[in-house]
Structure formats: structure tokens, C-alpha cells
Chains A and B, each alone.
Chain A
Amino acid sequence: MTDANQQMVEQYRNNFLREVEDNVEEGEWVKMCMQCGVCSGSCPLGPHWDHPPQELFMMIRAGKRDEVLQSSSMWMCTSCYNCIVRCPRELPITHIMHGLAHYAKRLGIAPKNQPTHKFSQLFWNNLTKTGRVNELRLGLSLYFMNGIGEGIKTSLKMQKIGLGMLMTKRLTPMELIGGHKCKDAKGLQSILKKAEELEAARIPVAGK
């Protein structure tokens, strides 16, 4: 647990709001929300959020740091951008949600077994390896992300689909061994490393 997590926050003070402004992508928009609720109403997975976007914004103002960052809510975002185009204040809600998710993960307090959290990290790890997504490896790592038992079960469930993809040449077993990649994968990785460095310098909490 990092120090930041242990920080005592008094209710409805602006501390957490300021923290979000400083550290979360597009976080400076949170204070502009006028609590109309259109975002929550427009979200395709809305009912599955413990706290829909409108509520999250209010919770941030109310200083409910742990409840927000430990919530699985923002991981429900499918990036459909419905909220963004309808928000009367033009908040970039999709990005704020992704930003909160990333920040929570950075701090190490995002819900550990949240499937989208895990999948997202797998996706990133996969693409940064070669610069392009290796779909077969991604799929397998997804199925087996909760252990071998789960993996086998899911693989069996998906086998017809997998077969269909294979037969239509939309999947190749060759990806297990090799697969598409960037020639300058190293260059890409150095770019990313530098980018992460620069960002960490800006965001005070490096996290675990």
C-alpha cells in the first residue's frame, strides 16, 4: 500500500478532486460536471456500473477516494463515446473513466480480479512486445488469465468459434510461434519507455 492510499482525506474537501485533476487523464474536467445524468443514462452497460459516471464525479468531489479508485465501475466502459457526445458540458467522460482506471491500477488498488482490468493489461503487454497484436496469443492469455482450469473450460466453450476462425483463415496457429511484428520493435519499445518516464515525472505517485 502506498502512502497516497493512506492519506487521510476529510470529507468534501477538495483534496481528492485536486489529486484527480493532477494525475488522471482529462481529470481537470471533473469539476465541470453539472450532475445532469445523461452520461449514466446513455451508457450501454450503465446498469452494470456500481457507480455510474455521474455518481463517480460526485464521489470525487465528496472525497471518496477509496470507493472511487477501488471500484470496478470505470472498467465497464466500452469506449462507445455515447456519453461524450451527449454531455452538455462536453466532458471527455470516456477518457476520464479510462484515466481513473489507469490511475487506480498505477496505485495498485484497482480490483485485482476485474476481467477488463486484466484483459487490458494483457492487451498492452501483448502489443508492446512486437508492436502489433498477436491475436492467438492474446486469446489464449485471455482464456487462461484466471488459471488453467478456467482456461480449459473457456477454450472448450470457444472451440467452435476458434475453429470457424481457423477455417476462414481469420486465425492462424502460426501465431503461436511467430506472427506479425514491427521490424523496429526495439525502437517502439524505447519510445514507450521514454514516454512512460516523462509521464511518471509529471505524476507524483509512481505506484507499485
Chain B
Amino acid sequence: MADEIKVGAYICKGCGLGERLDCGQLATIAEREGKANLVREHEFLCNAEGVAMIQNDIDNEGVNKVMIAACSRRSKTEAFSFDNVAISRANLREGVIWVRPDDDESSETTQEMAADYVRMGCSEIKYMTLPPGSEETASNNNLLVAGGGIVGMTAAIEAAAAGYPVTIVEKSGVLGGSARDEYKRIPESMPYTDPEDTGVAEMVAKVEGAGNITVHLNSTITKTSGAPGRFSADISTESGSTTTENFGAIIMASGARNYDANQLPELGYGKTPDVVDQAGLEKLAMEANGGPIKRPSDGKEIENVVFVQCAGQRSTKEGHLPYCSGHCCLTSIKQAMYFKDQNPNVDTNIIYSDLRTPGAGGEDFYRSGQQKGITFTKGEVSEVTAGTGGPTVKFQDLILDQEVNENADLVVLATGQIPNSGVDIDAVESTDNEAEEGAEVVANEVTVESILNLDYRQGKDLPHLKYGFNDSHFICFPYETRRTGIYSAGPVRRPMDMAQAKEDATGAALKAIQALENAKLGRAAHPRSGDLSFPLFRKEGCTQCKRCTVECPFGAIDEDEERYPLFNEARCRRCGTCMGACPVRVISFDNYSVDTVGQQLKNVDMPDEFDEKPRILVLACENDAYPALDMAAQNGNHYSPFARVIPVRCLGSVNTIWVTDALNSGYDGIILMGCQKGENYQCHFVKGSEIAHIRMSKIDDTLESLSLEKERVETYEVAITDIERAPKLINDMAEAVEKVGMSPFKF
């Protein structure tokens, strides 16, 4: 590898670039201003001849950095992939000629736009080096599964069958989880008409017979530390003995527990034994084992049973669950079938407000239930009282608009699930004294124990998103949590039934395997899969402010004994939020740093204020916003010729120095485009967009002190579908700039 840097700049003339632009001038700019050592133009750069030309320069002319001025960096990635060289792409096609009209009026500004992008490409490549890959590689094929229920067992079986040894840690004395306590399950296969065997025994046998699955019963995980490829977990039994084992990846399958129906006295629970919850019905069914189901109070064979749906759920009342637990309508239909299959003359009435039977199989099961004579009544239950003959259900029939008192032998309340998601690390911050014991007070006054006991600075468990469920990136990557290498599956991340849970477990197992394989190569996992770069940290400049440590969405940064940040590369997703956070800019990546972006924006040719040619900087996140702009261009949507778009990995990685530098350089407007934030976030790095918005909200004071108008800096949430809106936002900024005038900082 030559010490001397030789940059090859390549200007493509295909796709209309040769016709619309003066490529000769661009070549001159690359040489003189961009300081490229070797500049070439080509009619059709991505074809075999063009690619060979570049490869030849690499092999025989000593070129070790390549700047390609052609189409978007998202296009022709296979053609323009060259080993062992850093590559930058100037977007002349989607970024310039496709977003500008092909007329004489525009030709001047179009050329200026292209020229700037060539300058930017050349400065970017100057500061980029090829990432060598993290030295922190670790090879461990073992998977740790927390939880031995259906989810945990499925994940274990699937991973083991793929050749990866698995260790299951189960809190209770048996495998099976909540499915063990069910008489039968909702059907999993065609024709979806009858309840099926739960399959627990079969699954346990598979686990025990697999050969590469180790099971720890009556055990919990008392400490987890490390990173993908090198996790270390302490597994402790009830009696107190502990073993420490190493793992490549972890799956959290701790499931959910039943809502305590004692909180529903108005529905009769606790007032009479003949009001049970769904778990209670399963017990009665198991006792009956195919014979008539008898009610608890006096053993009478049940002749009519009423099911109350949404009991203590989908309700804003205190102590109730605000969400729907997803499986309970199907479960009630299944339980009503327990009665009907044994004796069709038993009357079963399911009182619902909305009937949710997800999946095509769910709808078939519902129809089968109706076929068997289960009655469905749309109604609102107000009270269940105990009487001499049995419980009475008072409800408002919403179709017939009448109040009804229905007598029943048994009432079954469809109560909800509460995820075993461990400690809420965001809540712990406000109750420091309890932090030591690792316990935490939840809404309904129950202390929870940590599941994973992570030895991470940010907290003991996976962060929660909503209603106590683990944060999993719903929109893009369902099993992904905010801890790299740890995947959640099953009802711990959202309410679901058994069929969905098994699918979830399989998906999580796949992701876990992918993670541990990536760790062997020092590569990032999703969403920057295969990325070999990792944060480089210049300790000497660090002020120990801890912003990077606290703001990292993935808790990848711990603290060392000297209170400096300790980077765990394998836990890093390479989003660069740490780089954006650092006020002294000591964090960077080989191919993405404060300079690779900062120098780009500084090397844009800045016309003086009399030229009436403003400059608008657009920092667009590469996940949604930049593709949206590319697609807008493909659709022929135009935007202002004064925009200069720089893709960033995530808005979280935007360091405010870029904004400051841009303002000082005379930019008239700055737009940040990132993904949606908040509870229904789409940000591919979960928190990046949110953090950027918070940082930018503090910029207003700075702007004021510089006597600059607030309209000059905007931060937007942009989705990949905003093909019409994204260009419009740029044009809106151009209009705003026209109104407030040129930046006084131009020189």
C-alpha cells in the first residue's frame, strides 16, 4: 500500500450528463480545485470498459482513492465497487440534471450545481480512508435464550437445527411457559376449525433430543456483559450456584404474564369462584379432560357460559391495561369450543366490543365458532354480580340497544398480558435508591426483576417503548432492540398469539445468527450491514462530558475506570450519533467524519451577496430522505438549483459544528431531513432523529446571537414516500431565503 495518496476523479458523460453539462469544465475543476491527481472523462462510465478503465488505474497507475462523478451513490453500486480503495460519489444525475429543467435559462445554475458537487466529491474523498474492519472480532457460535416457553424453545430448535448450539435459561422448573397451562391451542394450520394440541410436549422432546441445546431450569441470568461475539453471562440457580458462559448473541424470550384479575372486582372476580379468567378456564378444561366442564363453586356441569372480552383492557381506567392483548378473542372462541365440542347444547355467549381475530386462519376459526353455534353479542359489560344460581352479567346490547341481565353458570373474563420485559431503565433514573436492588415500581405497584441484568452503563435491561413492551423497531426491523446482538421475540415485545410468537422466534433466531456471524468479521449488523467502519476515539481531546455515552441509542458505550467512554465496537451500529454529540469532535469513522462532511460544505463555491445566488445546505439522512430525493428526481420533480445535498448516516450524527460552519461560510439556509421520531418512530437508529431535533431546537439562541433569522435553519421529518414533499421543502426554503434576504456572512 503506497503511502502516497493518489486520487482518481472520473466524470461520466452518460445518461445525459454529457449533453446537459460541460464535462470538460468539471474535469478542470476536479484537477485544479479538487486537486485530483488523475482525471478522466468517459462516455459510459458504468459499462465494462469504463469500469475496467478505473480498475486499471487502481492496479497500474497507483490510484488508491476514487471519486466518481456520475449517478447517485445508491445507483450502480455493483459496477462501482472496487476492492481496497475508498470511493466517493458526486451525484450529478439524480442530484443535478434530473432535478433541473433542460432549458437555456437554467443551464448556468445547473453547471454551477454540478461543479459544486465535483468539488464536494473531491474534498470528501480526501478525508476518507478505507476502514480496515474492527480488530474487535470475536467468534462464538453459542446462542443464549432467556426464557423456555414456546418462543424460547422455537428459537432454540431453529438455531440448533442450523448448527448453532443454544443455551436456554428458564426461571421455573419446567419448559413450556404459559402454553403448558393450556388445555389446547388456537389452530395453527388449515382448515383452522378446531382447537389443536398445544404441541408443548412435542417441542420439549425436540429440545431435549436436539443434542446441542443445553437447558438450565430454575435459573436466571444474574449478569450479562460484553458485546456480540463476546457476551458473557452468569447463570444462577435458585439454590445459589452460578456458572459463567460465553455467547455470540442473545435472544430475549421472557414472554408475558397474566393480568391480575383481582383488580376487576366489578366484574365479579374474587367475589365468586364462578367468575374466572382465561387461565382459570384452561385449568377447568384440563380437569374435565374432554368430559363436561364443571364449575368451581358446586361442581355443577356448566350449561351456559358467558365470555366477557376486553376485561380490564383497552381501557383508560386506572389499573387497567390501555392496549389490546391480541389473542384473547381467538382464545375465547377456542374456549367456547371446549364446551361446544363436548356438548353442542351448552350455550356459549361471547360479549365483545370489537372482535379481533387476526390472520386468515383467525377469520376461519371465527366462522367455525359460529358454525358450532357460539353466539356473539356486541355489548358493553358494566357489572358481574354473584347470585344464588350463579353469576349474572349486566350489559348493554349495542345492536339491540337494550340493557340485559344474563344469568350464567360460569363467567370467563378475557384479561390481558403483561410483558416480562424487565426493568424500565428510563424510569430508574428518577428513583435512584431502588436502582441498587435492580427493582422498580410499575404502574400497578408490582416490583419487577431484571431479566438480563446487563452490565451496561445505560441500564440493566432492554429499553421499553410503550406500555412496558420492549422497544422493537416495528416499521423496519421487528426483532431488533436497542441493544445490538440481543433480539426480543414473542409477547415481550408486543401482544401476540402463539402462531405469531413462533414466527417471531424464528425471525429472531435468524437475526441472532446473523449478528454473531458479523461479529466474527468485525462488521456491523443492520441497518448498516457489512459496514467495516467503527468509531475512532481521540482520548486526548475528550472532556469526559458523557454526551456520547448517554446519547448512544444502543448503549454501546460504557465507562472505564478513569471515567472515559469505553467503546464496544461490536455493540455499535455505526450511526454516528456519538460523533454528532461530541462537542469537541474527538469521535470519527474512517470513512465518515466531521471533516468528510464539513470539508464538503466548506468547499462549495460561495457566490457573494450581489450575485443573488443563495446557497442552501441540505443534510439528508441516507435511510429515507436521500432516497426520497433520488426518487423525486427519477420522477422528474425539480427543486432549487441552489441546494447542495450531503447524505448523512443519521441525523443523530449531525454535529452542530456543521451548522455553525455552514452559517459562517455564508450559507443562506440549512435543512436537516431525517426520519420520523417519537412513539411511532421510523428513525432507523431509533433515537437519532429525535436527538437531532432536540439539538437543533437549541440552535435558535445561537442564531439570534448571530443576528440570523430562525427561518434559515429547519429540521424536518421525511419519509421515503415523500417524493413530492421533499423537493417542496427545499423550494420552500428557497422562497424563505428570498424573503429574508442573503446571509450577511458571505464575503
A residues whose Cβ falls under 8 Å from a Cβ of B: 10-14, 17-18, 31-32, 34-35, 54-55, 58-59, 61-62, 64, 89
Contact = CB atoms under 8 A, between A and B. Distances in A.
A81 to B, nearest CB: 22
Interface of B: 304, 345, 347, 349, 355, 366-367, 370-371, 373, 375-378, 397, 399-400, 404, 406-407
B399 A17 contact: no
Contacts of B397: 58, 62
A64 B407 CA distance: 16
Given A13-B304, A61-B375, A54 B399 contact: yes
A13 B305 CA distance: 10
Contacts of A34: 355, 366, 370, 376
A89 B366 CA distance: 12
Given A35-B399, A58-B397, 5 more contacts: A14-B373, A17-B373, A31-B370, A32-B371, A62-B377
Contact of A11 (B355, B366, B406): B406
15 contacts: A10-B407, A12-B406, A13-B304, A17-B373, A31-B373, A32-B367, A34-B366, A35-B376, A54-B399, A58-B378, A59-B400, A61-B375, A61-B376, A61-B377, A62-B404
A18 B340 CA distance: 14
B347 A13 contact: yes
A12 B370 contact: no
B347 A14 contact: yes
Given A11-B404, A55-B399, A55-B400, A17 B371 contact: no
Nearest to B351: A12
B378 to A, nearest CB: 6
Nearest to B346: A14
A14 B376 contact: no
Contacts of B370: 31-32, 34
A58 B404 contact: no
Nearest to B349: A12
Contacts of A62: 377, 397, 400, 404
B404 to A, nearest CB: 6
B146 to A, nearest CB: 41
Nearest to A18: B373
Contacts of B376: 34-35, 61
Contacts of B304: 13
Interface of B is mostly: strand
B522 to A, nearest CB: 55
A31 B347 contact: no
A64 B366 CA distance: 24
Nearest to B404: A11
B375 A12 contact: yes
B347 A12 contact: yes
B377 A12 contact: yes
Contacts of A61: 375-377
A18 B347 CA distance: 11
A68 to B, nearest CB: 11
A61 B375 CA distance: 7
Contacts of A59: 400
Nearest to B303: A13
Q: A-B pairs with the 4 shortest C-beta distances? A: A58-B399, A61-B375, A13-B347, A14-B347
A175 B349 CA distance: 56
Contact of A31 (B371, B378, B400): B371
Contacts of B399: 35, 54-55, 58
A58 B404 CA distance: 14
Contacts of A13: 304, 347
Contacts of A32: 367, 370-371
Contacts of A35: 376, 378, 399
Contact of A12 (B371, B373, B404): B404
Nearest to B408: A12
Nearest to A58: B399
Contacts of B378: 35, 58
A3 B69 CA distance: 93
A59 B407 CA distance: 17
B364 to A, nearest CB: 12
B330 to A, nearest CB: 15
Contacts of B406: 11-12
A72 B366 CA distance: 32
Nearest to B374: A31
A34 B371 CA distance: 12
Contacts of A18: 373
Nearest to A61: B375
Contacts of A58: 377-378, 397, 399-400
Contacts of B377: 12, 58, 61-62
A158 to B, nearest CB: 40
Q: Which of B345, B378, B397, B399 has the most CB of A within 10 A?
A: B399
Contacts of A14: 345, 347, 373, 375
A32 B399 CA distance: 16
Nearest to A89: B367
Nearest to A28: B371
Nearest to B363: A34
A10 B345 CA distance: 14
B320 to A, nearest CB: 26
B306 to A, nearest CB: 8
A11 B306 CA distance: 12
A32 B364 CA distance: 12
Contacts of B373: 14, 17-18, 31
Nearest to B401: A55
A5 to B, nearest CB: 21
A173 to B, nearest CB: 51
A18 B304 CA distance: 15
A76 B560 CA distance: 83
B370 to A, nearest CB: 5
B341 to A, nearest CB: 15
Contact of A17 (B375, B400, B404, B407): B375
B124 to A, nearest CB: 58
A32 B377 CA distance: 12
